[in-house]
Structure 1
């Protein structure tokens, strides 16, 4: 009896940018877990890949033949947001990690399940992206990868940044959780997981192979899972199928153990694995805190730079005002010099007139007393003598008037 292939889908929210960095390390095969999962004899990096960076005019240095760039989830996310002009909410996460799965036997029917030229692998990969774009919204997928250098296959990893218009700002924001709620409501279900399973199964049957069956829910299978931290396994590249196989193997070893000592050893190994998983999670949390502290430091530096720029602008304005006032003072000083010079000239002319008048008066003084007696009568002569005496007194006062003290021109501003 031929067993039909099954399909399933898994969606895990990406909470912080550190999760995306971890996915990049795993995709580029630099973390320990990815090294352990490599298939013996496989060429590292063999995979079907796609990234939206091929669309980005903002990224002219992208090389589609560079495997490291093809697997750089962090840069792809950054460029995807820039191209579409979308941002992030404070606590809304940074997108979704969506994994579509089809049983290996579906691919084994037409060739090697690790051969990139296997037509069913290529079809599965392309239809996974098309389904994700249709389900989560156009422009959601920014990177997809189907690894072929691991022991298993038939799992397409897709990284999505679903976005919707933010009600407060009116801008486009990444909102993975909100989109999952929309999917559940649209299917009239309480859980988006069930709606996605049905949606992916329907897509597989209509676009890939009608014989593909929907994966059975856990309520029917009764499957139990190891109590491993939910998303830490995903960050380290452990897919759902591999986790279930590891769990079944551990349960088989425990049930077949013949003595208590062996069971304790196995339990201890499982506890060590759990502790290592927790330590890795703690490390990620510590790195996240460091990133947050660094971001806060950067914000403080930027704030101080803006304050210094503001003060520099104020000082520049003050310097310009001082320069303007200095120019006004220079003009006022020049005007005062002109007025003082004109006053000195007028005083000098007055003094010269005074000297000439005194000199003329001295010349005719002797005649003023003699001439009237010759041509005038005694009464008129007496009157003329009185006028002459007053003129003499006035000229005497003018003669005794002190010479003006002219201040130097450079001290004119003090006047």
Structure 2
């Protein structure tokens, strides 16, 4: 057996270190070449580290949340044979020292002896077990009886055998081995697959007492820090209003049915962005950054709309810069581009910063009401809830209408309740009469 040492790779020009944000494997796991082992985060991006070889994870060099220097040891794999030569000097491979470290066969024989089980030389025969155990030697099999191993005893098998068993859904603890000291071979797996014991799944209720500790690291740590700052520094006021978007949905469907091939399909958000730009032109103090340390409000003329976007790594906020200079289709195109970059982890720092006001939406699962947390240090955030068909009284009867709630939060140090209400009411008017969004006043 040999070892393959994987070092923290060079993940980008000028990057000296990276934070380990996710392990996809643990010690003892079997991996194949190109299988993702870990994810590390720099200030610019999250990078996945694949395995260059097949093997078994023997050692992990960092905990979640630890920062590791480029070139430092990160993962050690046990591989079959004498090991694999390092590629381009970026990985170190060394053969295991068999004199200093007894192999698995010797360890197994020592364990058998300690339990008082008589064993012959491992190269010649298999340790003799009790009458209830599967008694096997080369060329002899006992089918239909599960192997009984001592508490905590691990079956002996090579990484290749373990990987094959895992992919086949076989618990090696139930397989007898004919190799030295009971080592499980590929032939043993073949016999087990053909004739072996299948344990029945237990049914019924059972108490669970385990507690998993999850390190808050990487993007999740940054999100936690920013949310904590926002809620501790900003006294939030949340205002909720329902909006009839029936006419808006009809307009959106008509535009999508006649759009050019080079244009994306319109969602609700570009219309909300256009309404937001128009409302800010009338109430510019909502488009601001509050520097509470200096006691200054930075009121911006450019409308840079952050769009809260859920990714596999967590919540990020790509920014549509200068929405006031884009039309409906321009907002849609930029929104799609940024969303794809954010989800792929390729969005730049510039694309993830500089917002002056934020829109948050959970789409079809957006709930009836939410209480959005302001994207510090902004002073307002507009929350879009899901569209539902509800009965609405028109003065004579109930009619079905497509209704949606807007749940918006404001910094009460800067924005009074009255200002928050009239701002949301203006957006409501624009969305309920969407032609007004596109008419110059």
Same fold (TM over 0.5): no
Bigger RCO of structures 1 and 2 (CA < 8 A, at least 6 apart): 1
Higher helix share: 1
Higher strand share: 2
Question: TM-score scaled to structure 1, two decimals?
Answer: 0.21
Question: TM-score scaled to structure 2, two decimals?
Answer: 0.20
User: Which of 1 and 2 has greater Rg?
Assistant: 1
